[in-house]
Amino acid sequence: MQSSKPIIEVKNLEKKYDSADVLKDIDGVVNQGQVICVIGPSGAGKSTFLRCLNLLEKPTSGTVLFEGMDLGSLKINELTTLRERMGMVFQSFNLFPNMTVIENLKLAPVRVKHMSDEEATKKAKELLDRVGLSEKADVYPSSLSGGQQQRVAIARALAMDPEVMLFDEPTSALDPEMVGEVLAVMKELADEGMTMVVVTHEMGFAREVADEVWFMADGYILEKNEPNELFNNPQNDRAKDFIGKIINA
């Protein structure tokens, strides 16, 4: 299912907050159907990197190409069309608390894609079924567990039929017993051929599911490799140190 058709290309990406460099000289290509896991210590700039991909953060310099289109040149209304093609899942779920679960799923298809209510409802039900939460359609998010909320958030992003899914530490805020259910949904998604960029601390998931693992530290991508290579035989010293600590933990 994997092809070598690049969906996202990043060139010389830099991000500065005031005077602090958060991202430095980032290059990378995400091909269609690929699952990229981004790992690294806290403060490495992983989340910022991810957020630069759909322009929730504006890069200070460098280019991000989405299917060959330069994101830096987009106007605000073009930006929203771009974003509907890239789903994002957040660490803190960010479900809309003022809407029921199914309303959360229907909002964007109806408002952005101008889908009919009926059609959107049908689609939302299918997606809830897929993440195993059909019976929760009419409850408010606050009555769900963290794991359930994150599964709803994934379904909500999928409702827009995105070409790429970005995951920003999707399991970090979860109680340990709920991590599995969310990872299972993500794995299923990967198996179906979804292009995914996942910032994560779940090394097991990265090893099993990723096509490529990118190791980030201090704002740089220091090493990119297949998961087995990177975990078993890291080349970069920082990567060695990081992976050594994780394995010994």
Partner 1 sequence: MTIKGKHVLQAVLALCLSLLFFVSFSNVTTNDQTAYAADNSLQKVKEKGTLVVATSPDYPPYEFQTTKNGNSKIVGMDMSVAKKVAKGLGVKLVVKSMSFDSLLVAIETGKADVAIGGINPTAKRRQSVDFTHIYYSGGQSFLVNKAEKLKYSSRAKLKNQKVGAQTGTLQYDLAKQRIPGVTVKGMDKNTDLVLALKTHKVAAVGMETPTAKAYVENDSSLAMIPSGYKLNKNDVGAAIAAPKGSTALINAMNKSVDQIKKQNLTDGYLKTAGTYMKTNTNNTSMFHYWKYFAKGVEYTMIISAISVVFGVLLGTLLALMRFSHNKLVHAIAVAYIEFVRGTPLMVQVMFVYFGIGIIVNLPALLSGIIAVSLNSGAYVAEIIRGGIDSVAKGQTEASQSLGLNRTDTMRYVVMPQALKNIWPALGNEFISLIKESSIVSIIGVTDLIYQLNIVRADTYRGVMPVFIAMILYFIMTFILTRILNHYEGKMNHAK
Does 102 contact partner 1 by CB under 8 A? Answer: no
In this complex, which beta carbon is closest to partner 1, that of residue 47 or of residue 200? Answer: 47
How far apart (Å, rounded) are the C-alpha atoms in residues 218 and 238? 10
User: What does the per-residue mask of binding to partner 1 show for 125-144, with x meaning CB under 8 A?
Assistant: ---------------x-x--
Using CB under 8 A, which of the segments 2-10, 35-43, 150-158, 192-200 binds partner 1? 150-158
Q: Are strands 35-39 and 195-199 parallel, antiparallel or unpaired?
A: parallel
Q: Which helix (DSSP H) or strand (DSSP E) does residue 9 occupy?
A: strand 6-17
Q: Which amino acid is at 30?
A: V
User: CB of residue 80 vs partner 1: minimum separation in angstroms?
Assistant: 5
Closest C-alpha to 228, from 245, 206, 248, 247: 206
Strands 69-70 and 61-66: antiparallel
Binding mask 38-67 for partner 1 (x = CB under 8 A): ----------------x-x-----------
Burial 85-123 (b: 16+ CB within 10 A, else e): ebbbbbbebebeeeebbbbbbbbbbbeeeebeeeebbeb
Rule CB under 8 A: say whether 163 interacts with partner 1.
no
> Considering only 11-19, 73-81, 213-221, 223-231, which stretch makes contact with partner 1 by CB under 8 A?
73-81
Give me the residues that bind partner 1 (CB under 8 A), please. 54, 56, 76-77, 80-81, 83-88, 90, 92, 94-99, 107-108, 111-112, 140, 142, 153, 156-157, 160
